[in-house]
């Protein structure tokens, strides 16, 4: 056999071809995950998963409304493999349409039954709260209705339930506990007292963090708990009359070309390592054997909502909310 040494240009061409082949292989193996915040959590989970498995992860992170809008826009050519939403109803709707891959991870054994189905499982759980700026001139509220008092005139914000899955959960909780008349009367009184609905969760929270407003009505607790831990002068107050939880469903799309890798990702998020990452973001871990850094289900007064019934009325509820608040 005659051995021949490749010339410099030939070697460079061969190296380039190998790199392209390797890159194509890696790209084919990459998972695409769409996730409603927190962005730091999904980035850490993706990095940990890649380190453990060698499987690359492409992440799109946004609000629940934008994630669901992107899925709808891509329906004819789905790009996502795994979706993590902040609205349980979104997973129910996708499952009802037959768009989800059936999978229940063995790591879900420690997840309570009401936080899992054969098609989706909670990544973690948040709750809705009042967030009050301690440096404001307004007193610390104790319950939702306190914010109708003159002491909170022009000092209250609320996330838009059309853009925040968690805020929609709150409205359904109020409808469950207070009834239609009580809920819409409360929201009318809040608007009359100067409450604004500036947009998604962050837009409602930022004015309170900055001191321009005093209280968020229906803040997602884990975001505010994280801000508080970082030194912000805010308190996270869970109303005495009760609040609602917002489980974050994690699901695999039926259209995925990589079901095995997607299942591995779900397994990882529900592993002890993955759930500790969830806890670090001040969410309640989905697994009940992982310690949390915040109040958990047994420490909160919860409103039991019929999610299926409320989701069936979603369009009507959002329409009434817009009419009552004047927010379009």
22 lies in some domain: no
Tell me if 241 sits within 8 A of 143, measured CB to CB: yes
**pLDDT-derived band at 67, boundaries 50, 70, 90:** very high
Nearest to 237 by CA among 228, 246, 249: 228
Domain co-membership, 273 together with 314: no
- pLDDT-derived band at 27, boundaries 50, 70, 90: very low
Q: Which of 78, 74, 310, 37 is nearest to 163 (CA)?
A: 37
Same domain, 199 and 311: yes
Whether 87 and 189 map to the same domain: the answer is no
pTM of the model: 0.83
Q: Does one domain contain both 84 and 54? A: yes
Q: Which residues are annotated as a binding site?
A: 222
SS3 of 290-317: CCCCCCCHHHCCECCCCHHHHHHCHHHH
226 and 312 housed in the same domain: yes
Residue 203 DSSP symbol: H
Of the two residues 24 and 154, the one the predictor is more confident about is: 154
Residue 216 resides in a domain: yes
Write out pLDDT tens, residues 174-194: 999 999 999 999 999 999 999
Q: Which residues are annotated as a binding site for Fe cation?
A: 222
136 and 178 share one domain: yes
| Same domain? 313 vs 223 | yes
Same domain membership, residue 188 and residue 56: no
pLDDT band at 327 (very low <50, low <70, confident <90, very high): low
Q: How many CB atoms lie within 10 A of CB 200?
A: 23
pLDDT at 311 over 90: no
Q: What range does the domain containing 54 cover?
A: 29-125+246-296
Higher pLDDT, 58 or 311: 58
Question: Is the residue at 118 inside a domain?
Answer: yes
Q: Does 225 lie in the same domain as 139? A: yes
pLDDT by residue (tens digit) across 113-138? 999 999 999 999 999 999 999 999 99
Residues 140 and 184 in one domain: yes
Q: Which of 45, 59, 65 is nearest to 202 (CA)?
A: 65
Q: Do 226 and 261 fall into the same domain?
A: no
**In-domain check, residue 18:** no
> In CATH, what number is assigned to the domain containing residue 53?
3.40.190.10
69 within domain boundaries: yes
Domain count, the chain: 2
* Per-residue pLDDT at 12: 42
Whether 283 and 265 map to the same domain: the answer is yes
């Amino acid at each position: 056999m005659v051995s021949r040494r490749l010339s410099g240009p030939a070697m460079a061409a061969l190296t380039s071809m190998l790199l392209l082949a390797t890159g194509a292989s890696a790209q084919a193996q990459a998972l695409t995950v769409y996730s409603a915040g927190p962005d730091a959590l999904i980035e850490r989970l993706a990095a940990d998963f890649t380190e453990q498995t060698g499987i690359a992860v492409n992440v799109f992170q946004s609000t629940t409304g934008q994630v669901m809008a992107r899925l709808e826009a891509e329906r004819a050519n789905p790009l996502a493999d795994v979706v993590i939403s902040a609205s349980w109803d979104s997973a129910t709707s996708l499952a009802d349409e037959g768009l989800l891959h059936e999978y229940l991870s063995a790591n879900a054994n420690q997840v309570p039954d009401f936080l899992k189905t054969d098609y989706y499982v909670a990544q973690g759980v948040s709750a809705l709260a009042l967030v009050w700026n301690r440096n404001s001139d307004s007193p610390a509220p104790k319950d939702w209705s306190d914010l109708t008092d003159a002491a909170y005139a022009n000092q209250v914000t609320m996330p838009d339930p059309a853009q925040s899955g968690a805020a929609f959960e709150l409205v359904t909780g109020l409808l469950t506990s207070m009834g239609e008349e009580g809920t819409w009367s409360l929201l009318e009184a809040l608007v009359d007292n100067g409450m604004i609905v500036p947009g998604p969760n962050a837009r409602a929270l930022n004015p309170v963090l900055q001191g321009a407003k005093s209280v968020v009505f229906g803040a997602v607790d884990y975001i505010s708990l994280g801000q508080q831990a970082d030194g912000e002068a805010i308190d996270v107050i869970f109303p005495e009359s009760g609040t609602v939880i917002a489980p974050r469903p994690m699901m695999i799309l039926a259209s995925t070309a990589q079901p095995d890798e997607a299942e591995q990702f779900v397994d990882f998020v529900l592993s002890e390592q993955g759930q500790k990452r969830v806890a670090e973001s001040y969410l309640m871990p989905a697994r009940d054997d992982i310690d949390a850094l915040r109040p958990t289900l047994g420490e909160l007064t919860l409103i039991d909502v019929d999610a299926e019934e409320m989701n069936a009325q979603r369009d009507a509820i959002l329409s009434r909310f817009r009419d009552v608040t004047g927010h379009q």
